[in-house]
Amino acid sequence: MVFSSLIFLYFFLPLNLILYYVSGNLVYRNILLTLFSFFFYAWGEPVWIVLLLFSALFDYGNGILIEKLNNKSKAKLVVAFSVIVNIGLLVAFKYSGFLYDNLSLLINLPFARPEVTLPIGISFYTFQTISYTIDVYRGDVKAQRNPMNFLLFVSLYHQLVAGPIVRYKTIADEINGRKFQWNDFSSGIGRFSLGLFKKIVIADAAGSLVDNYLITNFDLLTSPTAWFGLSMFAIQIYFDFSGYSDMAIGLGRMFGFHYNENFKNPYAANSITDFWRRWHISLSTFFRDYVYIPLGGNKVGKRRMYYNIFIVWALTGFWHGASWNFMLWGLYFAMILLIEKRVLLSIYSKIPIIFRYTITLVFIVFGWSLFYFEDLSKWSTFCSNLFNFSSNQILAFSFDLRQNIYWFTLVILLCIPWDELPYFTKRWEVLAGNQIILTSKIVLHILILIICTSLLVGSSYHPFLYFRF
């Protein structure tokens, strides 16, 4: 199931809320949330529930085992075992086709290509359980004794299928001790509405434009239209992904959980280093804490540090999909990071700040081309289109620009980091408690709900071109 669907908004969520708040006891509430999470997951993939259960119970056991073993080196073995099994699952279900394709280029494989479908959310929940066992081993958090509670952490539908990667220690206390506050619920609704708006009004609309430029008219693209199409993809992916995170965070609040932020105005980054502090934060901090720092981070020699950076970014890229282009996408950022450290940062200090933001944005947007085209030969054709300045005028481009000009303005407004500008934050603090502001918020959230519902219903409107009589 996805959040941006009628079945979720007008069936799953209200039912879940009512039953949850009718049952007063937190134990019942947790069981109820787990059951709903299973139902949520089963809606798309009933069979893979088994895998989810296995993954949860396996690391539930590992956590307790690690804690019970006084011997550090034995505990380390358990952690290693846990990591290997989890990564093994990920490799088996996500990367086996990729590995097969590449190995068969080198040697003749005696078996057929494994055709496994990717279980939804596996990339997220395996990382969550890995972080749990490592954190228990490091002593950052106590192992969870109650299997039901641990199952709730792993399967919680808010973040199960599309992140953020919530670490156990973030919500450990809230599993058994969260309190209801109207304030939380109310702010949760606000956050959920924002996410819904981002997903349905911005991302989906951008997506239909992307299809026009990067799929259907691909061979006719000229430089401006190619950049336009790519920018639409940049808009789509950011608003889609961050919208989903917003909805997850908002849903969490409605039920009393507080998850960490996953995006912070990424397109307002002033360098690629900065970009990765703002983009998919739960993933980049995962790799920072569990790969980069254990490898020595930047407290090692220059050469070793560069090596660490390349490892981390190749993995980050590869996590996004089982294809070379994703790895290249990661390495592309590693390369820019190095160039930034060595050259660009000193140049940036000498030029007007606006160029710094622009250059960073161009790097990011160009990077999305690597992310978009899984077929690298297609990608190289596309790149030649990006720099093809012939005057092949395309009707759709001017049409799309004009027809979406207000929408476009809205997108830009939503990319501006208002919450980082002191001028606005100060004024906002003064206004936040204002009755009128609060009332208009209520109206706004309901309005967003109506808008999103209309667009969802509207997308199910398929009149027949050729009617029968």
Partner 1 sequence: MHNLKVIHVLAYSGILTLGMLSFVFSKKEKESILEKRKLQENPIITLKSFLDGSWMLKYEKFMDDHFPWRSSFVDIAFQLNELKGIKNPNNARLITKTKDKKIDEKKIDLNKAARDINYLINAESASSKGLLIIAGRAFQVFGGTRASVKSYVDVVNEYRKILPDHVRVFNCIVPTGSSFIFVKEYDYLRDKEFKNIDDAYSLSSPNVINVPAKEAIVAHQDEYIYFASDHHWTARGAYYAYTAYCQASGLKATPLNKMTRKVKRNFLGTLYNLTKDESIKKNIDSVEYFIPSVSTDVKVFAEFASGGNSYGVFLGGDKAHLKIKTSVKNGKSVVVIKNSFGNPFSTFLINNYETVHVVDYRYFDSGLLRLIKNEEIDDVIFFHNVFSANTLSHSERQRIIKNPVSTENSSEKKTNEKKMETKKTNKNSKLELNDENSDSDTTN
Chain residues 9-38 in contact with partner 1, contact rule CB under 8 A: 9-11, 13-15, 17-18
Residue 376 lies near partner 1 (rule: CB under 8 A):
no
Answer yes or no: are the C-beta atoms of 34 and 152 closer than 8 Å.
yes
Kindly give the interhelix angle for 147-155 and 122-138, rounded to the nearest 10 degrees. 130
Residue 440 lies near partner 1 (rule: CB under 8 A):
no
Active-site residue, 445 included:
no
Smallest gap from residue 32 Cβ to partner 1 (A): 16
Q: Give the residue, chosen from 80, 345, 405, 431, that forms a contact with partner 1 under the rule CB under 8 A.
A: 405
* CB-nearer residue toward partner 1: 47 or 430: 47
Smallest gap from residue 29 Cβ to partner 1 (A): 16
In sequence order, the 6+-apart residues with CB closer than 8 A to the CB of 133 are: 59, 62, 63, 66, 78, 79, 82, 83
Residue 296 lies near partner 1 (rule: CB under 8 A):
no
* Residue list 157-176, contact with partner 1 (CB under 8 A): none
Kindly state the tokens that stand for 12: 């799953």
Return the half-sphere exposure (C-beta side, CA atoms, 13 A cut-off) of residue 205. Answer: 19
Answer yes or no: are the C-beta atoms of 165 and 128 closer than 8 Å.
yes
Kindly state the tokens that stand for 236: 């789509």
Q: Give the residue, chosen from 403, 424, 428, 431, that forms a contact with partner 1 under the rule CB under 8 A.
A: 403
| Burial class (CB within 10 angstroms; exposed 0-12, middle 13-18, buried 19+) of 289 | middle
Q: Give the residue, chosen from 198, 278, 341, 445, that forms a contact with partner 1 under the rule CB under 8 A.
A: 445
Q: Number of residues interacting with partner 1: please give it, by CB under 8 A.
A: 72
Residue 300 lies near partner 1 (rule: CB under 8 A):
no
Kindly state the tokens that stand for 393: 């005028």
Q: Among 26, 157, 137, which residue's Cα sits nearest to residue 81?
A: 137
* CB-nearer residue toward partner 1: 82 or 212: 212
| DSSP-derived 3-state class of residue 264 | coil
Kindly state the tokens that stand for 25: 């006891």
Kindly state the tokens that stand for 117: 């479908």
Residue 380 lies near partner 1 (rule: CB under 8 A):
no
* Residue list 420-439, contact with partner 1 (CB under 8 A): 433, 435, 438-439
* CB-nearer residue toward partner 1: 81 or 379: 379
Q: Give the residue, chosen from 111, 389, 423, 469, that forms a contact with partner 1 under the rule CB under 8 A.
A: 469
Q: Which of the residues 158, 280, 320, 445 is marked catalytic?
A: 320
d(CA 143, CA 140): 10
Residue 408 lies near partner 1 (rule: CB under 8 A):
yes
Smallest gap from residue 222 Cβ to partner 1 (A): 16
Residue 454 lies near partner 1 (rule: CB under 8 A):
yes
Q: Give the residue, chosen from 70, 71, 73, 183, that forms a contact with partner 1 under the rule CB under 8 A.
A: 183
Answer yes or no: are the C-beta atoms of 4 and 198 closer than 8 Å.
no
* CB-nearer residue toward partner 1: 111 or 461: 461
Kindly state the tokens that stand for 214: 């990067």
* CB-nearer residue toward partner 1: 220 or 293: 220
* CB-nearer residue toward partner 1: 211 or 289: 211
Answer yes or no: are the C-beta atoms of 155 and 56 closer than 8 Å.
yes
Residue 212 lies near partner 1 (rule: CB under 8 A):
yes
d(CA 308, CA 197): 39
d(CA 239, CA 268): 14
Q: Give the residue, chosen from 26, 69, 383, 449, that forms a contact with partner 1 under the rule CB under 8 A.
A: 449
Smallest gap from residue 456 Cβ to partner 1 (A): 8
Residue 467 lies near partner 1 (rule: CB under 8 A):
yes
Smallest gap from residue 465 Cβ to partner 1 (A): 5
Kindly state the tokens that stand for 436: 């009128």
* CB-nearer residue toward partner 1: 107 or 436: 436
- Element spanning 422, H or E: helix 422-432
* CB-nearer residue toward partner 1: 10 or 355: 10
- Tracing tokens 């981390």 back to the chain, one arrives at 312
Residue 457 lies near partner 1 (rule: CB under 8 A):
yes
DSSP 361: H
Residue 102 lies near partner 1 (rule: CB under 8 A):
no
Smallest gap from residue 128 Cβ to partner 1 (A): 24
- Tracing tokens 């092949």 back to the chain, one arrives at 392
* CB-nearer residue toward partner 1: 18 or 103: 18
Residue 50 lies near partner 1 (rule: CB under 8 A):
no
Q: Among 207, 218, 212, 211, which residue's Cα sits nearest to residue 392?
A: 218
DSSP 246: H
Segment near partner 1 (CB under 8 A), from 73-81, 151-159, 342-350, 454-462? Answer: 454-462
What are the catalytic residues?
A: 320
